[in-house]
Chains A and B, each alone.
Chain A
Amino acid sequence: MQKVLLSGNEAVARGAYEAGVGVATAYPGTPSTEILQAVADNYPDIYCEWSVNEKVAVEVAIGASFGGVRSLSAMKHVGLNVAADPFFSLAYIGSATGGMVIVSADDPSMHSSQNEQDNRNYGRHAKVPVLEPADSQEAKDFTVWAIKISERFDTPVILRLTTRISHSKSVVELGKPLKPNKATYEKDVNRRMILPAIARKMRIKVEERLKKLTEWGEDCPLNIMEIRDKKAGVITCGVTYQHVREVAPELSTLKLGMVYPIPPKLVRKFTDLVKELYIVEELDPFIEMELNHMGIFPKKGKDVVPVLYELNPERVEAALKGEPDPISPPMPPDIPNRPPVLCPGCPHTGVFYNLHRMKARVTGDIGCYTLGALPPLSAMDTCVCMGASLGNALGLEKALGEEFNKNLFAIIGDSTFIHSGITGLVNCIYNKGNTNLIILDNRATAMTGHQPNPATGVTLKGETTHELDLAELARACGASYVAEVDPYDLAETRKALEEASESEGVSVVISKRPCALIVRDEWKPALRVDVKACNGCRLCLQVGCPAISMKEKIAVIDQVLCTGCGVCAQVCPEEAILEKAVI
């Protein structure tokens, strides 16, 4: 068969195709985003969608399974928290009629996440199997296995990836697609109505299923024992297996491709064969606790293998040798950091600049705009989770009174607002809040790569659809003041923010301007600084635009980076920032 270079995410998409998946859903989230993108780009026969959030994504996938069609739902680790409600019910309901795989892409080290969460724990919590691939080949193969297991054992299956699987590329040998199921629907309330009386029966099924899965794991092809030197053996899973092989190639290994449930006989067989047992796993002592429960205690485990952040070859090597954890690689001292920044021409800049000048309190949310918290803008006080900004603002208002609320703003992106901010808005209005909400509508789910969303009126497949009108929605919810502003116009934006804070009831200001990266052909010529007029006051630096810097006490605008948005020109008291033609 043909060999190709695929990322773990692309390999999962290929696996979905080979497994005969008919419906695939997701909400974008790093590091999971490219799975659905790859489905949409390469496999036109699979129905795929950006759902508004992970909960809905899983519900759509469950519906497909009810109709006899295999389905996949992909999300980042925190997405499974959002989808946990249908997911736990699904664990009872099962998926015999159409196999279902839930892909959870975890982000150890939080490269692009708010927390570090080991979603293997969801397997134990919901009593469903967890598969964990160690490279792209396995990412593809395990997706197919997940569908097979799901149908055979009547259970959803978690396919757990991590950043280093999702975003690493390796060689994949392609396989032949399975025959898809026949789409069909039969009413079966004893299977699908999770009422207490029925759920109590399902509860028994869940325990019996777990026993059967454990039994199957004893000699399933996903768990691979490799006996080399018998002096010591390592039980491991996922990409960590690769680090172990890299730094300690002589050690025997038991790689758990199905990391939950763990088969006790296989583990004992391995521990009997090797003199010393080590457990090397990233994040939580998941395997270790399962083994402890079986009465097995490793010679080396989480006492030496760090529980924080992603592992890599040097950290695994140090742990095995009993050396201090090289938690961060050696770096030269005293060189400037390079934190991520809002891009040149970012429309959010105009809003954050105003909030900074107003000395506003700001409850924030999740997206590119979270970078508005960094200096020099420093215009965000809090960030909790998707959609939290509204609830947080209302809580502050109720705790501290209406006076505090005057200069308090909740800020949220268009996609995040639709994901889980709408309920927060309804709640603020219902509970008689005076909350001021800013929706940053940049016409895309920008952070994850500019996916469309309901407010852009385009689907994952690029088809046009109904365009959600955020202003009308806000009015329908009962907002008393609604304004739409162009964030490139600093004065207009400031006026709307002030009116919002002064008006009674819940106010909504919608900052409307496409992300600069999706309208490159609309960029204006780069601006320039009139060196005679610039007095070096550095006010333009307060905009936080990466295109502006100081050279010999005069502001300089990078002619490649500048998009000509003109925000800095509005800030300059000397009117020294001008269009090229003027100077």
Chain B
Amino acid sequence: MSAVAEHTIEHVHRDDIGSRLGMWLFLFTELVLFGGMFLVYAVYRFMYQHEFHVAAKELSASVGALNTIILLTSSLTIVLAIVAIRKNNKFLAVFFELMTMLLAFGFLVNKFFEWKIKIHHGIFPGSEILLAKGNGEVIFFGLYYVMTGLHALHVVIGMLLIEVMAGFTIKGRINSTNYVRLEAAGLYWHLVDIIWIFLFPLFYLIT
């Protein structure tokens, strides 16, 4: 047969440990990526201590806390989805995957209104109101938009990823004997969660 499948290996070769290792390595790169921004935050917090203190008061801790609760719950639901698929309960697995997506969406809605109100008050990069406030506050809100924005982008990517996983679960490509993809998506989702766990105190709680 001349039609040797483009990659027989792909079909024969299955290595769950390898896949998990690959995912962990990818998460390292994500951590370093955000690490770079935390470094920038640390430097400017040190440089502009007072202005960071003042600027942080503008953010609502309760809105941040609500989002923290939402994200933590979504981390639980994705774990429950994995447990369900291990026990071969397809319906419950799909249910929890959809729950996770729903919570992620709730997080984004909350974030959207938070940003919208800020922008409405004239606090956004380049606005005259913000520029009048002094360098430290400009940088605080610059960091706020960049860091929470990039985090929100990760939430969106995570949502799409979990949507694909839900599709796989329905089709049976993710099942009780082969669920490494869902695990990988779960790991990614926990990363999104843990980054928020650091963003929340740095922007909302330390005033």
Real binding pair:
no
